[in-house]
Chain A
Amino acid sequence: MLSITNISKDMGEFLLDDVSLDIAEGEYFVIIGPTGAGKTILLETIAGIYPPDAGSISIESRDVTFVPPRERNVTMVYQDYMLFPHLTVEQNIGFGLEYRKIAPEERKSRVGEVAAIFGIEHLLHRYPETLSGGEQQRAAISRAIVLEPAVLLLDEPLSALDGQTRERLRHELRKLHARYRTTIIHITHNFDEVFSLASRVAVMNKGQIVQTGTPEEVFRHPESSFVAGFVGVRNIFSGTCTTEEGLSRVSIARPDGTEAVVWSLTPHPGGEATFTVRPEDIMIGREACSTSARNSFAGTISDVVDNGMVVAVHVDCGLPFIAYVSRQGWAAVGAAVGETIHLTFMADAVHVF
């Protein structure tokens, strides 16, 4: 549906470096990455704001690499709305319909229809500056979706909003996608948006796409230490890997010279390897757990941080582990900083790359 092939663009401060992506019809595709990774230029290049230095873009099997934005049927929503301040909400939403030569009466009814979906039909006569942030963003999304674009580009559409509004609008985006089945590319910093919206997610860094997959794949099985670090994998260690009994055996040298061994279900060709365990996959107990779990360590509690939702327990097992437990779970363990504790996790919770 949307095919980006080896796109490069150097804008000085930002760049795209040989980016390729294939996005299917009706997909909700989310792109995450640190500030300056080139996410916005990627969207703007798809929209046709700049010609790429190299590579090609096709939409619905039509090469649009050097086609101007107005002939692409791609619309875009920015974080700070970009509603035209001298036009009413109705004129803003109907702006694109004018250029499609839609008659005024029909324009009015289509604008009304979209505004009703977002619950802003009572604001149509107002000017953007008199609207709240959430209302402005609803108007901006309406303006983009009313054209029924082949691809809808959303550049951090929820980042400027307060927590409650963000949650509500996120929900509305899901409904919108369910209703129109538009192909959507959505940039965000917010992982909640990835899990609640994305059918697939890509991670960008320094102008390149470093990993693509379902949210589950990317968050559980990062393919590089950059992705692991970026998606918030806390326990990340490097060592050497061998295969024994059909399992990957990773050996890590502790600072004191002893060897820590971790077992994983992830196949690995052997040699230098990095393994990760998500903090919420680690069980904590005063006694060593006698379960089928392959990995068990004893260590000293070095710090306990109450994050509100979960308690982050930092345990020094020669390797610095972090485990997340619920507040009730932590209270049940009844341990304090300085005490010895046992960590247990399954071989399938360990990801090796």
Chain B
Amino acid sequence: MKGDLRRNGVKVATIAIALVITAFIISLLLLVITRPDPQAVIESLLSPEIRFAIYLSLVTSVISTLLCIAVAVPAAYALARYTFFGKSFVSMVLDLPLALPPLVAGVALLLFFGTTAFGDALASIGLVFVFTPLGIIIAQFFVNLPFMLRIMRSTFTDISPRYEYVACTLGCTNLQAIRRVTLPMAGSGFLAGAVITWAKGIGEFGAALMIAGATRMKTETLPISLFLNMSCGELELALSAAIILIVISVVSLYIFELYGGSAKF
């Protein structure tokens, strides 16, 4: 057979694969959304159990995102700007939770807060993490910190330190230069990082299950609710939790793409 410049087999085959997998993902999501009876979904969404799960998910994920920001922004700044002894080791360890299975992270957290003197000390002042919503927050924080950290680090690395140098010659202290110049310039990376960290936090299941358990109306976030209701055959309740999680994922991915164009994981 003679070749023809207008026929590009590689192009056709690779695009076909991309299209097939796209269709597969969309049909899965549509199935979850369209499977239950709409009337039943609305009723489930208004049920006390789902309302509690939405409330608990929002509160825990917002708090864990704020904690991630408070820790990741300064740590990412240090990794982007300074060289120090053991930097590459520190950098690797900070990324470790990303590769660790969430269940393993959860077991480690459970042991730390449940069996050590440090955990007992925290419990004695009222900070009980085992089988409480506080455990959910710490699980989300631990698993999602690397996302915020990596996005902020690449954001800071992309901002030339010379902006700060100029600001310092114009009268700023180091901290003022960061606050007046670097942080505003890091705005979109910050927003993208916060949104993706929050969305991951809402969906966090494995580590939270280990340390906080799955207790109805106590540690029942949306993913836990999905798991509990699926286990005991309450399909409508399970699917309405799933639908909320899908909506949150799609919206936050959109915001991330909108603002995080230059930010990298």
Assess the B171–A100 pair: CB atoms within 8 A. yes
**Could you mark each residue 70-83 of chain A with 1 if its beta carbon is under 8 Å from any beta carbon of chain B, else 0?**
10101110101010
**Could you mark each residue 176-191 of chain B with 1 if its beta carbon is under 8 Å from any beta carbon of chain A, else 0?**
1000110011010000
SS of B interface (majority): helix
**Could you mark each residue 155-192 of chain B with 1 if its beta carbon is under 8 Å from any beta carbon of chain A, else 0?**
00000101101111111110010001100110100000
CB nearest to B170 among chain A residues:
A96
Give the most central of A70, A95, A100: most B CB within 10 Å: A70
Counted as pairs of residues, one from A and one from B, with CB atoms less than 8 Å apart, the total is 61
B168 partner residues in chain A, CB cutoff 8 A:
47-49, 68-70
Assess the B165–A44 pair: CB atoms within 8 A. yes
Given A84-B181, A85-B185, also A47-B165 (CB < 8 A): yes
**B35 CB, nearest partner CB in chain A, Å:** 47
Complex Cα–Cα for A98 and B167 (A): 12
A144 partner residues in chain B, CB cutoff 8 A:
169
Complex Cα–Cα for A147 and B169 (A): 10
B181 partner residues in chain A, CB cutoff 8 A:
84
**Interface size of B by Cβ–Cβ distance < 8 Å?**
18
Assess the A82–B169 pair: CB atoms within 8 A. no
B184 partner residues in chain A, CB cutoff 8 A:
84, 86
Assess the A69–B165 pair: CB atoms within 8 A. yes
Assess the A86–B165 pair: CB atoms within 8 A. no
Assess the B171–A99 pair: CB atoms within 8 A. yes
Assess the A99–B172 pair: CB atoms within 8 A. yes
B172 partner residues in chain A, CB cutoff 8 A:
70, 99
A143 at the interface (CB under 8 A from B): yes
CB nearest to A40 among chain B residues:
B162
Complex Cα–Cα for A85 and B171 (A): 18
Assess the B171–A76 pair: CB atoms within 8 A. no
Q: Could you list 30 A-B pairs, sorted by A, with CB under 8 Å?
A: A44-B165, A47-B165, A47-B168, A47-B169, A68-B168, A69-B169, A70-B168, A70-B169, A70-B173, A74-B169, A75-B170, A76-B165, A76-B169, A78-B166, A82-B165, A84-B167, A84-B180, A84-B181, A84-B185, A86-B184, A86-B185, A86-B187, A95-B171, A96-B170, A98-B171, A99-B170, A99-B171, A100-B171, A144-B169, A147-B171
Q: A72-B169, A82-B163, A144-B169 are in contact. List 18 more A-B contacts (CB 8 A).
A: A49-B168, A70-B168, A70-B170, A75-B170, A78-B166, A80-B160, A84-B163, A84-B181, A85-B185, A86-B184, A86-B185, A95-B167, A95-B170, A96-B171, A98-B171, A99-B170, A100-B171, A147-B170
